[in-house]
Amino acid sequence: MSTPASPSLAGPCGDCCIKMVKHSGESRGKAVEYGGARTYVVTPADFGHKTEGPHGKGVVLYFSDIFNAFYINAQLTMDYWANNGYTVLGIDYFDGESVAEVVSKGGDWKVWVEPHLASAPEVTKPWLAEVRKQYAGAKFFCIGNCFGAPYAMNLLAEDWLAAGAFAHPTYLNESHFERVQQEDFSFSLESRRRAVDILIEGKKDYSMVLYGGIAHGFATRSDPSVPTQRWGKEHAALSVLAWFDHHRNITGPA
């Protein structure tokens, strides 16, 4: 007899996941390969900051939406956390591809994303092993946006991260919350209520931040020219930073 699937709380990627306002700015990081996967790496040193340890406050593992970690919006978001003391690693689990290119060429993005649902977890496994080896001794954190949310949640079921977060998730079910250690999230009302119930029942440490007047993708894809959207995007990055700082401090230095 097969085991019943865990009830879904955040569904698959939809048309809201491909809406993007491209941000402007110059990224500071570089491309490095870990475990065979191209990785965007940005550090406090890229902003001229000196740190007490070799990796600053800790290492943040960033799991992007379907635009890829190398899309400028994602890079600038990772740069923000690096400028505030963290080494940030963003995995390219799309093998150099981005939904932006698919849409611009008139392709079917839903067909494009399907094989990546199967390949991205396999790309991520050796990447995580290599990253843990290369940054041994560091305090680890993680964050996933949209497509990347399950990756962050799966890591939070393990015991080697200090804290994690996600925004506007997809592909999440109740079991992700039953296994989680810490997290920060925003999604539909009914799903939020159920997720919070699970976290409370499991006596987990969590934080939830809600933003009114903005849509799915707000953490990286908002329009900076619209004040409400800009504030939501910037505050989302700030709240993640505060969450990580909090857990870094209560668990001591790396």
Q: How confident is the model at residue 248 (pLDDT cuts 50, 70, 90)?
A: confident
Residue 186 reports pLDDT greater than 50: no
pLDDT value at residue 200: 62
What's the chain look like in SS3? CCCCCCCEEECCCCHHHHCCCCCCCCCCCEEEEECCEEEEEECHHHHCCCCCCCCECCEEEEECCCCCCCCHHHHHHHHHHHHCCEEEEEECCCCCCCHHHHHHCCCCHHHHHHHHHHHHHHHHHHHHHHHHHHCCCCCEEEEEEHHHHHHHHHHHCCCCEEEEEEECCCCEEHHHHHHCCEEEECCCHHHHHHHHHHHHHCCCEEEECCCCCCCCCHHHHCCCCCHHHHHHHHHHHHHHHHHHHHHHHHCCCC
pLDDT value at residue 99: 94
- Residues paired with 141 in a beta bridge: 60, 163
pLDDT value at residue 206: 55
Residue 87 reports pLDDT greater than 60: yes
- Residues paired with 10 in a beta bridge: 172
Spatial contact of 150 and 176, defined as CB atoms under 8 Å apart: yes
Q: How confident is the model at residue 13 (pLDDT cuts 50, 70, 90)?
A: low
Question: What is the mean predicted confidence (pLDDT) over 162-169?
Answer: 80
Residue 208 reports pLDDT greater than 70: no
Look up the pTM and report it: 0.77
Question: For 110-157, how does the pLDDT look when each residue is reduced to its tens digit (9 = 90+)?
Answer: 999 999 999 999 999 999 999 999 999 999 999 998 889 889 988 988
Cβ-proximal residues to 141 (8 Å cutoff; 6+ apart), any chain = 58, 59, 60, 61, 86, 161, 162, 163, 164, 165, 244, 247, 248
pLDDT value at residue 113: 93
Instruction: Tell me whether strands 182-185 and 205-208 are parallel, antiparallel or unpaired.
Output: parallel
pLDDT value at residue 213: 54
| CA–CA dist 241, 213 (Å, integer) | 22
Of 146-155, 179-188, 211-220, 231-240, the one with minimum mean pLDDT is: 179-188
| CA–CA dist 36, 24 (Å, integer) | 29
